[in-house]
């Protein structure tokens, strides 16, 4: 294998890196939110709506942790079906359980994509470094960071214009029919009201934008350092 890269290979590597980075950064933010820490922080935010049907903050933390553990573990839906609020009342009804099963499928698929993207990005960076294509590597990182920032700005504008539109659109894309619609008295809505999801979208945009800015700034510094080094030689 030759040390230098053909022009077409260089363009392809730069494009692939720029396309993979937004996906990797967004899913990294999603993974950070799939933690009890985020749920606890969110429940503790000022003016977070109390449950009008009686869940205490401690109960919300308990049942949200059970739900999160189900999504991230290998447990089947029967483990969630066995959870009960009382002897007569299960945590989730049949409709909620079907939705949680669908959510788990989506979460597990997203985590697999996240891992694949991470491996591909790291692998491509190693190849570019090994072939001494540092300028190309840094341009690819800047491109990916720039596209990520543009995407986050568009999403935030959409959230400001109509969160409900984006929220409904997201569910219509990833879930069939109206399986994601519930009563306000259902446990899923009581644990995760609309405010929770609005804030989650904002957190994802904010965290992703911060990572993209850090990458862009780091790549910009690297390019300047590379240019200065080539001038002094």
Mean pLDDT of 180-193: 95
What is the overall mean pLDDT for the chain? 92
Residue 128 belongs to some domain of the structure: yes
Per-residue model confidence (pLDDT) at position 199: 96
pLDDT in tens, 24-63: 999 999 999 999 999 999 999 999 999 999 999 999 999 9
Per-residue model confidence (pLDDT) at position 210: 97
* Higher-pLDDT residue of 68, 227: 68
Calculate what percentage of the chain has a pLDDT beyond 70: 95
pLDDT in tens, 3-19: 556 777 788 888 999 99
C-alpha to C-alpha distance for 189 and 153, rounded to whole angstroms: 28
C-alpha to C-alpha distance for 6 and 51, rounded to whole angstroms: 61
pLDDT in tens, 114-159: 999 999 999 999 999 888 888 888 999 999 999 999 999 999 999 9
Confidence of residue 2 (pLDDT cuts 50, 70, 90): very low
Mean pLDDT of 195-218: 96
Angle, in degrees to the nearest 10, between helices 194-232 and 7-33: 140
DSSP type of residue 193: -
Residue 88 belongs to some domain of the structure: yes
Residue 1 belongs to some domain of the structure: no
Above 50 in pLDDT, residue 1? no
DSSP type of residue 181: -
Cα dihedral: 70, 74, 76, 78 (round 10): -60
Q: Structure pTM?
A: 0.91
CB atoms under 10 Å from CB of 23, counted, come to 19
Total domains present in the chain: 1
Kindly write down the DSSP assignment for every residue of 70-101, as one continuous string: HHHSS--HHHHHT-BSSSS-BSS-HHHHHHHH
Per-residue model confidence (pLDDT) at position 32: 96
Which backbone phi and psi does 184 adopt, to 5 degrees?
A: -65, -20
- For the chain, the distance separating the N- and C-terminal CA atoms, rounded to the nearest angstrom, is 28
47 — alpha (psi -120 to 50), left (phi > 0) or beta? left
Residue 2 belongs to some domain of the structure: no
Kindly write down the DSSP assignment for every residue of 121-165, as one continuous string: HHHHHHHHHHTT-HHHHHHHHHHHHHHHHHHHHHHHHHHHHHHHH
C-alpha to C-alpha distance for 205 and 233, rounded to whole angstroms: 42
Domain span at residue 56 reads 7-232
C-alpha to C-alpha distance for 21 and 27, rounded to whole angstroms: 10
Per-residue model confidence (pLDDT) at position 155: 94
Q: Among 208, 157, 204, which residue's Cα sits nearest to residue 21?
A: 208
Measured at the CA of 193, the angle between CA 71 and CA 106, to 5 degrees, comes to 30
Above 70 in pLDDT, residue 228? no
């Amino acid at each position: 294998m030759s040390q230098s890269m053909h022009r077409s290979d260089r363009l392809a590597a730069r494009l692939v890196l720029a396309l993979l980075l937004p996906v990797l950064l967004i899913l990294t933010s999603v993974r950070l939110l799939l933690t009890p820490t985020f749920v606890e922080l969110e429940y503790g935010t000022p003016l977070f709506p109390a449950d009008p049907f009686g869940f205490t903050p401690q109960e919300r933390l308990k049942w949200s942790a059970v739900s999160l553990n189900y999504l991230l573990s290998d447990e089947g839906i029967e483990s969630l079906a066995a959870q009960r609020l009382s002897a007569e009342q299960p945590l989730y009804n049949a409709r909620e359980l079907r939705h949680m099963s669908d959510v788990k499928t989506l979460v597990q698929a997203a985590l697999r994509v996240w891992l694949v993207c991470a491996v591909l990005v790291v692998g491509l960076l190693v190849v570019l470094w090994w072939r001494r294509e540092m300028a190309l590597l840094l341009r690819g990182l800047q491109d990916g960071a720039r596209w990520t920032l543009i995407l986050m700005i568009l999403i935030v504008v959409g959230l400001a214009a109509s969160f409900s539109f984006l929220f409904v659109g997201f569910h219509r894309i990833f879930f069939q029919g109206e399986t994601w619609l519930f009563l306000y008295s259902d446990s899923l809505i009581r644990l995760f009201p609309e405010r929770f999801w609005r804030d989650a979208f904002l957190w994802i945009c904010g965290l992703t934008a911060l990572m993209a800015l850090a990458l862009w700034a780091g790549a910009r510094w690297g390019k300047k350092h590379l240019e200065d080094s080539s001038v002094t030689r």
